Structure formats: C-alpha cells, structure tokens
C-alpha cells in the first residue's frame, strides 16, 4: 500500500475538479486529482459550450483562459424562435454589457489538463475502485488502485467533483442529505457537424414537433439538438432523418440550415436535481456531484465553476488563517446560485419543449410567455441577466 499525504484530495477530473486543482495550486495548496477514466476519454467527451462572462474572467485571472480568450467566440445575443419567426434577445444590451463565450467544455478540459501536467502536479487517470473514508474526521482518506498499486491518500479535506454518477455523494450516510429532483419526459439528441454554423447566434426554437437548438463550437463546427424521447434509440436516427427534422424545426422562410458530415451523435436525458447540504464533515461536493440542471439554460458547466471558486476561496482562507467561516458557509453560498439556476433552467425548459400530454392550454401559455419575453423589456432583461450569469444571487 502506497500512502501519500496531501491537503486536498480531489475526486474527478471534469471541469470542476481540474479548475479547483488549478485555483488551489495558484495559491500554494497541494492536491491530488484522482479520475477513473482515461485522459483520452475525458478529453473526447463532447459536452456543453456556453461560458458566462464571470467564469471567463475567473479562468483568465487564474491563468487558465489563454486559449479560451483567443479561440472562444463572444456572443452578445441569442434568438428565440416560435410561430416560424425569430426574435433576438440582445443579452449584452440588457445585462450591463456582459456577454457569453462559446468554447467547448472539452477544450477547456484539455487546457486544464495540460496546465496541471505542465506544473508537474499529480493527476491520476484510470484510477480503479475509488472510495472515500473517515469523512467526519480531520483526516479523510481516498483509496484507489493506480498503476497496479493500492493507494491511500491522506487528506485534510476531500472535494467530491465526480459528477452525478460518482461515488462521493453516495458515500454520505443515509439521512444526511435532502434531495430535490424533477425528471422530464424528454431528452436531447445532439450532433456535432463539420459545417459552418448557419446563424451568427444561438437559436432556441419552439416547434409543434418539439424543441430544437442551433448552436456551434467554432466557425467550422455546428452543434445542433432535437428534443426526443429520454430513451430514444439512435439506431432509428440515420443522418438524413436528423437533418430533415432539424430543417423542419429550425426552418423559417428564406433560410436553410447548412448540412455537413456528422462527427458525433448522442442522446442526453434531462433532469433537475439538488442535494442539500453540499457538504458532509470534511467532504465538499461540487458541480454535477451535487446538482444537475436540464441543458436548456446552459448553466451546468457555469454552476460547477462557481462552486469551485467559492470552495477554493474558503480553503485558501482556512489553510492560511484557520478560519472555518468560508467553509461553513460554502453550501449555503453555492445553493443560492444553484437554486436560481435550477429555476431558470426549468423555466426555459418548460417554455420551449413540447410535452407528450401537452394540452392546448399549456401550448397557449408557452406561446404567450415567448411573446412576452420577446416584447417586454422587463421580461427580456430577466432572461438576459440569468443567461449571462447573475453577479449576485
């Protein structure tokens, strides 16, 4: 058995774990990151791509935003489409000049991995049988197998950054956490296509056949989504059918969606989930390990990074001065933003998706809400400030 001592044991090398490791390292705090998948797998996983201005600033100030600023595409608005027409929400104009940056989560993860390895800091991929122990004590442990040896990591605190299906949250004894959730009766079929985006800004489309979203990853890559069943069988979706359905749902007179080779496709379920508190003893949960939002509000990645910003500040303060104020407030501080994002994502989802059992009353309400949001300055401002990320919650 190899025993290692570190200040912060970080489980999971997604955006939350990697950003936390980076922020701590910048402040001279040691950590070991333990990830059960391979580097290739983690770097190939296609995920979200919308980053709030505040998070771009956080990464830039921490020295992790160089490529993000160089290659990311700054967007100042989005479009909402319904009844066959598009309506622009001028995000920056409505939200004090703030914008969003389009940059794939995958790219951010690659940047953070490179920074970590260049700094010579421990990042253990393909760790097997990861488990966490003694969480209520001052010396919590992470155990795992790595390159054929049994490892025991002796920590001051553990950060559970291992996503929704990780092991940290389930290691908290029964009865400690309160859980809040909502399942949606649909999912998203997403594709990445080798074709220039057909619109300068994202288009969120309400359509009688279901929601569709036009997004992008770069000037040469489009990212597109269709509302589908949560258990949709991809085998029933040859490329031609996907393009045809996207053309129908995103189509408006005088405009056609440019098609190209489909590089990746997948189905994601949609759920809302929060556990409270986001802490048990010396284990702190961050990002998807503690909460999930449906992707409609583009908040998942941003929330994860807000959590680690709060946690990194609290840990730095604790290691420097011994004060536990920040750590004691960690969960409440994060949950205020989490619940704002939960509401916003649920609201966007309900406004734009077609439910199987939708009666005409619900449909009329959706269309009325869409008209309101695209004609009232107050309603549009509310959408915009949530979308670009609230400064205070």
Residue 303, exposed/middle/buried by CB under 10 A (0-12, 13-18, 19+)? buried
Q: Which is nearer to ligand APR, 10 or 373 (CB)?
A: 10
Which range in 30-38, 83-91, 176-184, 295-303 contacts ligand PHB by CB under 6 A?
Answer: 295-303
Task: Look at residue 149 and give its three-state secondary structure.
Answer: strand
Which range in 7-15, 66-74, 150-158, 259-267 contacts ligand APR by CB under 6 A?
Answer: 7-15
108 touches, from ligand APR, ligand PHB, none (C-beta below 5 to 8 Å by class)? none
Distance CA 139, CA 135 (A): 8
Burial readout 345-384 (b: 16 or more C-beta within 10 A, e: otherwise): bbbbbbbbbbeeeeeeeeeeebeebbeebbeeeebbbbbb
Instruction: Give the pairing of strands 203-205 and 279-280.
Output: unpaired
Q: At what angle do helices 360-375 and 377-388 cross, to 10 degrees?
A: 90
- Residue 203 pairs with which residues in a beta bridge? 79, 214
In sequence order, the 6+-apart residues with CB closer than 8 A to the CB of 311 are: 20, 159, 284, 286, 330
Instruction: Pick one of 21, 23, 42, 224: the residue that binds ligand APR (CB under 6 A).
Output: 42
Distance CA 91, CA 96 (A): 9
DSSP secondary structure string, 81-108?
EETTEEEEE-HHHHTTT--EEE--HHHH
15 touches, from ligand PHB, ligand APR, none (C-beta below 5 to 8 Å by class)? ligand APR
Q: How far is CA 298 from the centre of its chain?
A: 7
215 touches, from ligand APR, ligand PHB, none (C-beta below 5 to 8 Å by class)? ligand PHB
Q: Which is nearer to ligand APR, 15 or 77 (CB)?
A: 15
Tell me which of 206, 299, 306, 353 is the catalytic residue: 299
Tell me which of 75, 206, 306, 353 is the catalytic residue: 75
Instruction: Pick one of 55, 158, 298, 334: the residue that binds ligand PHB (CB under 6 A).
Output: 298
- Whether 41 sits among the annotated catalytic residues: the reply is no
Which range in 157-165, 189-197, 209-217, 319-327 contacts ligand APR by CB under 6 A?
Answer: 157-165
Q: Could you tell me the strand order of the sheet in which 85-89 lies? A: 85-89, 78-82, 203-205, 212-216, 222-228, 178-194, 261-276, 291-292
Instruction: Pick one of 49, 140, 160, 287: the residue that binds ligand PHB (CB under 6 A).
Output: 49
49 touches, from ligand PHB, ligand APR, none (C-beta below 5 to 8 Å by class)? ligand PHB
Which range in 46-54, 92-100, 235-243, 260-268 contacts ligand PHB by CB under 6 A?
Answer: 46-54
Q: How far apart are the first and last CA of the chain?
A: 46
Is 293 a residue that touches ligand PHB (CB under 6 A)? no
H and E: helices and strands count for the chain? 11, 21
Is 278 a residue that touches ligand APR (CB under 6 A)? no
Is 50 a residue that touches ligand PHB (CB under 6 A)? yes
Closest approach, Cβ 210 to ligand APR, in A, equals: 21
Is 215 a residue that touches ligand PHB (CB under 6 A)? yes
- Whether 37 sits among the annotated catalytic residues: the reply is no
Q: Could you list the residues that contact ligand PHB (CB under 6 A)? A: 48-50, 202, 215, 223, 295-296, 298
Q: Could you list the residues that contact ligand APR (CB under 6 A)? A: 11-17, 34-37, 42, 47-48, 105, 127, 130, 161-163, 166-167, 287-289, 300-301, 304
């Amino acid at each position: 058995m190899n025993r290692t001592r570190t200040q912060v044991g970080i489980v999971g090398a997604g955006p939350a774990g990697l950003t936390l490791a980076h922020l701590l390292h910048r402040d001279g705090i040691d950590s070991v990151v333990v990830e059960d998948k391979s580097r290739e797998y983690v770097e190939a996983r296609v995920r979200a791509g919308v980053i709030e201005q505040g998070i771009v600033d956080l990464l830039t100030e921490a020295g992790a935003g160089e490529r993000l600023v160089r290659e990311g595409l700054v967007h100042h608005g989005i479009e909402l489409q319904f009844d066959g027409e598009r309506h622009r929400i001028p995000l920056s104009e409505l939200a004090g000049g703030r914008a969003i940056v389009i940059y794939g989560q995958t790219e951010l993860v690659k940047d953070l991995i490179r920074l970590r390895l260049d700094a010579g800091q421990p990042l253990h991929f393909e760790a097997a049988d990861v488990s966490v122990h003694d969480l209520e004590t001052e010396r919590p442990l992470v155990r795992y197998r790595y390159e054929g040896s049994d490892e025991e990591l002796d920590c001051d605190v553990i950060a559970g950054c291992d996503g929704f299906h990780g092991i940290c949250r389930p290691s908290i004894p029964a009865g400690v956490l309160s859980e809040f959730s909502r399942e949606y009766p649909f999912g998203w079929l997403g594709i990445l296509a080798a074709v220039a985006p057909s619109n300068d800004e994202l288009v969120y489309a309400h359509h009688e056949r279901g929601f569709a979203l036009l997004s992008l990853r770069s000037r040469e890559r489009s990212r597109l989504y269709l509302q589908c069943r949560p258990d949709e069988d991809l085998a029933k979706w040859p490329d031609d059918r996907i393009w045809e359905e996207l053309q129908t749902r995103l189509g408006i007179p005088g405009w056609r969606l440019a098609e190209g080779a489909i590089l990746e496709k997948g189905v994601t379920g949609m759920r809302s989930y929060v556990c409270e508190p986001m802490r048990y003893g010396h284990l702190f949960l961050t990002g998807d390990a503690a909460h999930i939002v449906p992707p409609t509000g583009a908040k998942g990645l941003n929330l994860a990074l807000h959590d680690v910003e709060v946690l990194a500040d609290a840990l730095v303060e604790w290691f420097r001065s011994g004060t536990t104020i920040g750590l004691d407030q960690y969960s409440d501080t994060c949950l205020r933003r989490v619940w704002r994002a939960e509401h916003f994502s649920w609201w966007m989802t309900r406004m734009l998706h077609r439910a199987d059992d939708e009666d005409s009353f619900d449909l009329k309400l959706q269309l009325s809400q869409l008209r309101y949001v695209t004609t009232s300055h107050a309603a549009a401002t509310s959408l915009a400030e949530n979308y670009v990320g609230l400064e205070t919650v």
